[in-house]
Amino acid sequence: MNWGASRRRKTFWQHVGSLLGHLSATAVIFVTVFTLGWAISFIVHYLDSIHPFSPRSRDLIEHIEVSLLWIDTGISGLVLLVGASRFVHDVWIDLS
């Protein structure tokens, strides 16, 4: 079965709409993971103020927090680059 042969060509503005949808979804995912990380950080720091953790535990928690932020940023950046490259590829193919 040849999936590409039955594909209808999109206009430039349909490609732009797809890109904006992709960017919006990427932003929502980034903000969701960032907010989740912030909420967990807030709860952990609140618990630390009630009953202090050992310095080793606190260092581990801070390392995990920073790692989660970098992982979130890296994944969101990768998704952004894939969406942008797909947009350029699709526009190049459909409009050439």
**The predicted structure's pLDDT at residue 10:** 78
Q: Give me the residue label for tokens 């979130």.
A: 72
- The answer to whether the predicted template modeling score (pTM) of the entire model surpasses 0.85 is no
- DSSP class per residue in the chain: --TTTTPPPPPHHHHHHHHHHHHHHHHHHHHHHHHHHHHHHHHHHHHHHHSPPPHHHHHHHHHHHHHHHHHHHHHHHHHHHHHHHHHHHHHHHHH-
Domain limits, the chain:
34-95
pLDDT in tens, 5-63: 556 777 888 888 888 988 898 889 888 888 988 898 899 889 999 999 999 998 998 89
pLDDT in tens, 64-93: 888 888 988 898 889 888 888 888 888 887
**The predicted structure's pLDDT at residue 94:** 75
